[in-house]
């Protein structure tokens, strides 16, 4: 069913006109611009988003460099410093925390009625929610690339084969790694943002969201390959290894890790490329997104505060 907008007609009264691509583009641009501008005006949020991974990179990684040796595993072709290995996990940390922060702002918008006002527009609810998600991803991309810019001065860069441009020109290292990383960041950002959006959909009150968020962020982050390779986890605890394999964040981190080197996944003995990381991340993204769109109720917080139906705590 096509979406229509009610507009004044020349003959008086109102008429229904279908929404065209220009209307969708304007709506999308407005939502994404609002998210980015709101982020840029919150300097403390910008600094906190960078301080957390930088502390892990320059203090935690330096302290564990000698005790957590990394063998030659794909996509690495030589031994790498622990700082280099942990960088994809810290990028995943930025995306994870930003997704939860963006979802927290959506809970706040729902509490104040801003999302309810937005959703009375003639645009489909799924389009509006996906636009909000992409706005959050745009903010996360800013955070990730500023983090990589700072890490560059410590000689921590992505790598991979040069990207040909034609006419004998190509994009050399490390700039090629920054470009091949971009699609993986968008896909992972959407997956984590959809998960956070689903959480915000089933949590009724703002004060309950922060507590539940901690029960999701830290288990997802630590029970993954963000800080240590899976073969080390398997040696120490087969049960924890199986938990890590079920964790969608593990596949997100590995997708980022291979994307930094211009790859999708490891090469199998048969010569084919293993697409498991990409397919799992896309699969989780679709499941979380459909669940979030189905469960999202913009008036849930308002009803609770006004003492109407569903006003119980969440």
Q: Give the start-end residues of each E strand in 88-130.
A: none
Instruction: Calculate the alpha carbon distances from 83 to 60, 222, 230, 254 in Å.
Output: 9, 17, 17, 16
Written as six digits, the tokens of 304 are 């609770």
| pLDDT tens, position by position, 101-139 | 877 777 676 666 666 666 667 777 788 888 888 888 998
| Residue 32 · residue 138 · CB < 8 Å | yes
Q: Tell me if residue 18 falls in helix, strand or coil.
A: strand
Question: Residue 259 burial by CB count (10 A; 0-12/13-18/19+): exposed, middle or buried?
Answer: buried
Tell me how far apart the alpha carbons of residues 138 and 142 are, in angstroms, rounded to a whole number: 7
Buried b (16+ CB within 10 A) or exposed e, 303-313: ebeeeeeeeee
Written as six digits, the tokens of 148 are 């990589």
| pLDDT tens, position by position, 139-155 | 899 999 999 999 888 87
Contacts of 147 (CB under 8 A, 6+ apart): 50, 53, 54, 90, 91, 94
Residue in 124, 92, 108 with CA at minimum distance from that of residue 23: 124
Assign residue 113 a region (left: φ > 0; alpha: ψ between -120 and 50; beta: otherwise).
Answer: left
Question: Residue 118 burial by CB count (10 A; 0-12/13-18/19+): exposed, middle or buried?
Answer: buried
| Residue 187 · residue 283 · CB < 8 Å | no
Residue in 243, 299, 236, 276 with CA at minimum distance from that of residue 74: 276
Looking up tokens 């917080």 gives: 301
pTM summary value: 0.82
Average pLDDT value over all residues in the chain = 78
Q: What integer pLDDT is reported at residue 167 of this predicted model?
A: 58
Please determine, for residue 2, whether its predicted confidence score (pLDDT) is greater than 90: no
| pLDDT tens, position by position, 55-78 | 888 888 777 766 565 667 777 777
**Greater pLDDT, 153 or 249:** 249
**Greater pLDDT, 143 or 297:** 143
| H-only helix segments in 153-247 | 175-202, 206-222, 230-236, 238-246
Q: What integer pLDDT is reported at residue 249 of this predicted model?
A: 95
Strands 4-8, 163-166: pairing kind: unpaired
Q: Report phi then psi at 17, rounded to 5.
A: -120, 140
Q: Tell me if residue 313 falls in helix, strand or coil.
A: coil
Written as six digits, the tokens of 312 are 């119980």
Residue in 194, 188, 200 with CA at minimum distance from that of residue 286: 194
Q: Taking residues 250-271, what's their average pLDDT?
A: 88
């Amino acid at each position: 069913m096509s979406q229509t907008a009610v507009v004044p007609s020349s003959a008086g009264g109102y008429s229904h006109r279908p929404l065209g691509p220009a209307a969708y583009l304007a709506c999308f641009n407005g939502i994404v611009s609002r998210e980015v501008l709101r982020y840029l005006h919150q300097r403390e949020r910008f600094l906190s988003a960078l301080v957390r991974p930088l502390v892990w990179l320059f203090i935690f990684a330096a302290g564990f460099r000698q005790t957590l040796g990394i063998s030659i595993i794909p996509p690495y072709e030589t031994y790498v410093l622990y700082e280099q290995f942990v960088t994809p996990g810290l990028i995943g940390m930025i995306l994870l925390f930003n997704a939860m922060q963006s979802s927290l702002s959506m809970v706040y918008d729902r509490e104040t009625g801003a999302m309810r006002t937005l959703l009375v527009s003639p645009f489909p609810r799924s389009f509006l929610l996906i636009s909000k998600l992409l706005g959050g991803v745009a903010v996360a991309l800013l955070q990730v690339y500023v983090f990589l810019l700072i890490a560059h001065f410590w000689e921590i860069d992505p790598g991979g084969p040069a990207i040909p441009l034609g006419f004998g020109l190509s994009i050399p290292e490390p700039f090629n790694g920054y470009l091949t990383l971009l699609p993986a960041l968008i896909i992972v950002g959407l997956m984590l943002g959809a998960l956070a959006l689903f959480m915000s959909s089933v949590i009724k009150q703002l004060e309950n969201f922060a507590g539940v968020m901690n029960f999701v962020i830290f288990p997802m982050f630590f029970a993954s390959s963000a800080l240590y390779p899976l073969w080390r986890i398997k040696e120490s605890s087969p049960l924890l290894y199986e938990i890590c394999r079920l964790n969608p964040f593990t596949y997100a981190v590995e997708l980022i890790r291979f994307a930094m080197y211009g790859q999708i996944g490891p090469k199998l003995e048969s010569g084919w490329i293993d697409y498991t990381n990409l397919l799992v991340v896309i699969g989780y993204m679709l499941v979380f997104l459909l669940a979030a769109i189905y469960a999202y109720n913009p008036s849930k917080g308002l009803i609770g505060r006004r003492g109407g139906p569903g006003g119980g705590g969440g």
